[in-house]
Every structure is written in C-alpha cells, then in structure tokens.
C-alpha cells in the first residue's frame, strides 16, 4: 500500500527502526544470560584503572584481569587520552559490572576519586594503564590480609614505595620484603606509607578519612605524595598500612606521564607536598613509626614461615 501522508511514512519508518533496536537489545540480553553475565550489586573487589595514552597495553590488561575471578567489577577512569584509548576500552568493556568514566586530563587523584565513588565493592584496587601484571597470584593473598587484619586499611604493591620523611630510616623498603604473615603466602610487612599502584584500600575507611586531600595537587598536575598522605592519615586515625610483594612491571610503552608530566612542575610539587605532609604529621611521625614496628612483630621471616 502506498503511503500518501509524509507524517505517516515517517512514523512507520521510526516504528520499524525501534522494532529493530528492541530485537537487538533482546538478543544482547539473551547472549549475556547464556554466558552467565549478571550484574552484581555487591561485588567483592572493584578494580579502578586510570587511563591516559597507553592504548597498546589495554588488551593485555583486560586479558590478565579476566583470569582473576575475584575481580567482579572493573571501572576505567579514562582521562582524556589522545591515542584511541577510549575507543579501545569501549571495544572490550562488555560485562554488566564494567564501567567507564570520561574526564579531561584532571590527573590521577581526582580521576581515581570520581571512580571510587562509583565502586560498589568493600575493597577497591587502584591500577594504572601501564601496569604489566606478574604471573604469580596477587589478588587473593591481599584480600586474605584484609580479612585477617580488620584494622588494615591500605595494602600497596608498588615495590618502589619508600619513606619520604627524614624521621624514618632512609631508602626504599619494597625491594626486599623479608617477612610475611605465617598463614598467608605473600611477602608482606607493615609500612609507614605505600605508593600507587597497585593500591588496595577499604572503601569505608576511604570515606571515613574524607578521601584524597585535594590540596596536594592542582587539576591536571601529578598527584605527588597523595598516596603517602592518605597512608599517614590512616595511621593517625588508628588504622594500619601494609606493603605486599606484588612484582608488577611498568610497560615499555611510552605514553601517559612518561611524556606529559616530567617537567619542573614535578620538582616544585614534590617540595610543596612534602611541606604539606610535614606540617600535618610532624608531631605524629614518631608515633606512626613505632606503630609500624610493633605491627611487624606479628610477622615472621619468610624462611621461617616456609617451615611452618
């Protein structure tokens, strides 16, 4: 039948278009149901990745994370990449608990903070898009540490973590962790502070502490020492911070902060943020260090643990 009225012709076209879309949505739902892909209102662990110009590492990251069933929620905080990272993430975020937040170069601290607000798990883990994962188990042992130590608020895994206060012994302490919990098979020790990332934290403690201190960084600038500051704040409020041996590597891909953030601003920011930390915690540093030493007395040397 020939349609005489233009408005009726347009209505018919739209009706057919909507019917086609409904069919596609129904097929998508059936395909997800067949794969057992159901949205989890209460995931056990939320992983948050700050993304900025490391497109080549996206597929390896996705494949590695998919092999870890404990990771039940993945949130990408895409911070204005120019290398096609946004489009690459969208091609692979296909599960109900996959989310993506888009921002415009506000940098890690603010980007993470927005994503943490979206996370639904009791523990979140902050990663960066240039992380290259190790082959050894790293998620389950850390979650076991949280389960055993109720006051453990933060567990870092960046082996370049170190002390930034002259009140503490000099040097890094991530490269040579010689202790562990006698019941949990991962090198571990309590520390004054840990660095991004991986950076596990209890979400309720993050809320209680008020989140990251925005005065540590301007939008678009490196969040130097932001991780250390919240660690000191956790100790100051009666919580604990630990460092686990998670031998991540950094990608050889040159992008992100390797290109865009290495300038004199980093030096200025380091000086300024160390002063902020000193002003806030100078009277607490000795007490924090004493708490760390007492907490480490509960651990055993790795060689001894292997005999248990």
Mean predicted lDDT score pLDDT of the chain: 86
pLDDT at res. 164: 47
Q: What is the pLDDT of residue 262?
A: 53
pLDDT interval class at 256 (50, 70, 90) = very low
Task: Note the pLDDT of residue 252.
Answer: 45
Residue 94: is its pLDDT beyond 60?
A: yes
What CATH topology corresponds to 46-305?
A: Spore Coat Polysaccharide Biosynthesis Protein SpsA; Chain A (3.90.550)
Kindly state the average pLDDT of the residues 42-67.
95
pLDDT of residue 2: 53
Beta-carbon contacts of residue 62 (< 8 Å; ≥ 6 apart)? 92
- CA nearest to 99, candidates 108, 90, 87, 107: 90
**Are 70 and 139 within 8 A, CB to CB?**
yes
Q: Quick one: pLDDT band at residue 251, thresholds 50, 70, 90?
A: low
Residue spans of the domains in the chain: they are 46-305
Rounded Cα distance between 96 and 307, Å, is 44
Report, as an integer, the average pLDDT of 244-264: 61
Q: Global pTM?
A: 0.86
- pLDDT more than 90, % of the chain: 60
Reported as a pLDDT band with limits 50, 70 and 90, residue 219 is confident
Going through the chain in order, the beta strands assigned E by DSSP cover: 46-51, 73-78, 98-102, 123-128, 131-132, 152-156, 179-180, 188-190, 199-202, 240-244, 249-250, 300-301
The C-alpha angle with vertex 118 and arms to 47 and 29, in degrees rounded to 5, equals 80
The predicted structure's pLDDT at residue 250: 64
Tens digits of residue pLDDT in 149-203: 999 999 999 877 655 444 555 555 556 788 999 999 999 999 999 999 899 999 9
């Amino acid at each position: 039948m020939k349609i005489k009225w233009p408005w009726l012709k347009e209505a018919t076209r739209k009706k057919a278009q909507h019917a086609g879309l409904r069919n596609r949505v129904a097929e998508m739902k059936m395909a997800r149901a067949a794969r057992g892909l159901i949205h989890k209102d209460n995931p056990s662990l939320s992983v948050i990745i700050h993304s900025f110009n490391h497109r080549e590492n996206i597929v390896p990251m996705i494949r590695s994370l998919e092999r870890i069933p404990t990771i039940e929620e993945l949130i990408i905080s895409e911070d204005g990449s120019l290398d096609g990272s946004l489009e690459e993430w969208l091609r692979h975020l296909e599960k109900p608990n996959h989310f993506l937040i888009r921002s415009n170069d506000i940098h890690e601290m603010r980007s993470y903070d927005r994503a943490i607000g979206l996370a639904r798990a009791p523990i979140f883990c902050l990663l960066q898009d240039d992380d290259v994962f190790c082959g050894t188990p790293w998620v389950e042992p850390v979650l076991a540490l949280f389960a055993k130590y109720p006051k453990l608020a933060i567990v870092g895994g960046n082996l370049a973590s170190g002390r930034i206060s002259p009140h503490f012994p000099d040097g890094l302490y991530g490269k040579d962790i010689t202790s562990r919990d006698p019941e949990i098979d991962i090198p571990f020790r309590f520390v004054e502070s840990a660095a991004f990332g991986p950076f596990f934290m209890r979400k309720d403690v993050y809320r209680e502490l008020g989140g990251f201190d925005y005065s540590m960084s301007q939008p678009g600038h490196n969040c130097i020492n932001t991780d250390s500051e919240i660690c000191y704040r956790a100790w100051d409020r009666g919580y604990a911070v630990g460092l686990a041996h998670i031998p991540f590597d950094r990608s050889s891909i040159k992008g992100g902060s390797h290109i865009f953030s290495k300038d004199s601003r980093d030096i200025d920011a380091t000086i300024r943020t160390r002063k902020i930390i000193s002003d806030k915690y100078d009277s607490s540093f000795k007490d924090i260090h004493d708490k760390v030493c007492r907490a480490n007395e509960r651990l055993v040397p790795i060689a001894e643990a292997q005999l248990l």
